[in-house]
Structure 1
Amino acid sequence: MAETTGIVCDLCESRNRSKSAYIWCSVCEEGLCIDCSEYHRVSKLSKQHETLSIDSYRKLPECIRTLSKTCLVHDEPLELYCGTHQEPCCTECIATKHSLCPGTTLLSKTVKGIRDSEYLASTKRRIARMKLHAEEMKQNRRANIERLEKQGVLVCTEVARIKDETNKHLTEIEAKLVNEINELVMSETESCKNAESKMEDRLSKLQDLEKGISETESYGNKEQIYLGLKHLTDCLATEETTLKSNMEESCFQEKAIELILAEEMKLLTTISSMGTIKLNVKPTVISSIEPNSSAQMFSPNEASYSSMTISNIKRGTAGSDCIEGTRNTCSLVQLPDGRIVLAAANEAETFGYFYVFDADGHCIERKFSFQCPFGLALMNQKLIASFNIGMVAENLDLEDFTRISEIADGNIYGLSCYDNILAMAIKGEGITLAKEDENPFKTINVRYRSLAYIHLWKNKLFYSDFTLFVLSRYGWRRNLESEI
């Protein structure tokens, strides 16, 4: 009879009987036959225990079925829950390992309402997103294989044809092509050296201006400083105009050598160059696996932030040359492809840079910005940046961080996005909320107006102030504001 379900009644087995289990008690961690289940159901000690049928129990994943309700250290039932470490524990654990942890409560109270919780719903949504993403990646790779196979056959056929027609001319064509490449490299190298020399002149003059300001500040009187600044500012404006003018010159344009197969290659007697096989690589267009916001751990008993610690921080290898000249790190955001973009300003906050890092913290590149970037946010695969000097917020290209379009103007500092809503901190005015490609639907007049950084999460806004050491929280749906 015990072979019917494959799970025996533990109570009967302890009495040397063999009966098939009819239900499973997750509290007792035992299978029960029909007779024993009736006693279990009316017993004062177990009548409140939740049970499920053996068929339902067998359908649970192995990792769930093997979850123990008994402490492996103290052999006591896991009836309590530590919100700080987010793990179940027994009474002995509370007295030792978790003695200083705030917010401990009954495990039964912690899991109450889990079936209807956002934690469960967000986990299911996350799995669905990942499944969809994986399926799209699979189909995309299959389609890419088919294209590669067809392209491979076509290219091989073309290569064979070209080889038969041009084999006796290859040596001559190669020598001519190499000579052209060398001449082009020499010419463009000289052009780049001229550009480098111009920048050395600009740097020399800017260093002279910097020295002039420093010496005037150190040794001049107030009138000399004021009048000297006017002269130095005029000189600086001239240098800035010259610098911008230089950027338009041909020698400052990005140039790259590429070999294009000539039409003359089709005619044997007029072949002048051969070409090369080029593999075009571009990002795969697949919906992002990242949600708009990360799911929060379900627990009605949040631990005190004062007891939390930060660990396992991965330190990158940016290198001092990558961030040289940068003093003010303003904000950062992670792009859909995993790259991390950091907005930073120079010490005088007159211009800035976009630093790009890979997921391991290595600095990939640095992009110069004539404006001074402050806030960064990602909204529906679009990068948004605020520029407090230019007093504008713009959509930027994800590759070269150039301007695509203007979103809003004003003294905009911090940016934050959640669930298709963009929050903008406008210094001296308040915080505006807007949806993509729409006018702001709400302006919040917060208590502190020298706004700096903001963070939007669900129906709450967190913001800091430039002049006060205050972090504030604002429930924008209920218009409730408080200091943290």
Structure 2
Amino acid sequence: MALPVTAGVHCDPCTYNKLTTPVQFWCLSCEEGLCKSCADSHKGMKATRNHKVITYEKSKEITSLGHLISQQCKQHNKVLDLYCPNHDEPACSLCISKNHRECKDMVSIDDVAKNVISSTSYSNLQRDIGNLEENLSMVMTKRQENLTNVEIQESSIESSIKDMRRKLDEHLNNLHKDVLQELTSKAEICKTNVKMSLADLESRLEVASEINTSISQIKEVATDVQVFLAIREIEKLVKIEHNWLQESLRQNKMNELSLDLTMDTTNIHSTLKSFGSVTISNKPAEVEIVEPTVGSAQISIEPTNRKIEKIKLREKTRTTFYEFMDNSHKHGCLIWSNGDLIIANEDEKMKVYSGCGQFKLEIPLPDIPSDMTEISNDCIAVTYGNGKRIEIANLKKYQYKTVKTILTTNTCWGISYYDNKLAVKISTLGIHIYDVNGTLLKQLETGAKVDFFYNIAMMKNIYFSRSDKNTVHCCDQHGIEVWTYQNYNLQVPRGITSDRYGNVFVVGSASKNLFIISHDGQGREILKMEQTPFSVSYDKVNNQLLVRTREAILLFDIDFEQ
């Protein structure tokens, strides 16, 4: 939507007549400035008397809402004047010829948007926004209570340990020190987890508040058509935020953490081999969130298997790189939680693109990145292959700040995050599992001694590809193999990722295609490509797949047909 941004703008009709008259009003329908005389004429003419005219000063107040109420087609830059009930989306004249040739029920958007402010969808949206704010506030309160309880438990257990220590002889000093260190480490894990989720929730609550402010402003100043378009855009935003919250709960990110101490004081001098152990109990958060009414598709907390024959790809974005990425096979890609696309680059940078494929900025890095995974809204883990290290960094406002460095015993490549753990592909050594504090939890043998590209994904199981054997593997988190997949048409498999249902997407670099493999190891080719693909990333909240090739990035919407 074209809105004025500076003072001293002249009346558009007067300017057309070679007059310079200061603007006093703004027509939201024509998107033009008007002087007092022209505004009066505007209201008097039959063709424009129903247009919504507001003061020029008022129009400047809603400049920030332009992206929500714009009547311009984002793809073709033409007026959105039609609506397709079949696809539930507005359309311009070019959209019809390209995307709606078979649609027979196209209607005028003006007819659809009549009385939209008094419609059920508008009132439902307002209620859903309020519910979203309440949901986020409620979960934040629970997390704050959890943080307080962990701190109280930490203090209480420390007192218990000290009381016990007074009963022991001097030779227990070392054991006393060990258990306190364990307590501090476990408590830090709890507090780090809760604080990260609190930061995420606070950020999401701010977004929800901004949405609520926007919908109130739109009601006051926008036309029916603009309100109708804004409702559609805001519904998408509300759905994204709600899906994120449910996905966080499903992935156990909001589980309540607590500390317990196990001690045995019987026969203490003869049998005590440690001063105690501190454990973390993890139980689902007791939170009942209010479901939104917008849209028809809701995300279930428990994964539901989907038949891979019913899964379809719809290309949404294709962005060609200006420069030829000769070593793109060594660098990963990622869909960030805000919808941006992040590409690891060979020049010690990460490049950020919008979900529409527009270049936004470059993020300087301390070394050449290999792969990356999102830990939370403002936290990312990056592998630096030849640097033999993993960095956990704060990425708030896309300013990279290292928080923790984890050194690895060999070059490290693919990385994936799930349930507060990092799975990392280590050259010649297999897959190493770390917690977010850098503690090595497990080492899993994969049999691949030379393969080092982007070949790891983790949910409840761990998935990896072996380009030397043309195979894709699934094992549990103890390293026990669940299935192995091999297909003659899948050659040199590299990038691998998974959706929320346990389906795996893997690219064949030599065969130039994309395969999907079900949770039980059955697969099929889902996309044939002209370019050579290397890495992939899946957005489990919005069901989108990002594929990186040497020449471009491609973003797909994933449709689950009934």
TM-score by length of 1: 0.38
Q: Which has the higher contact order (CA 8 A, sep 6+)?
A: 2
* Richer in strand (by share): 2
Larger Rg: 1
Structure 2 length-normalised TM: 0.33
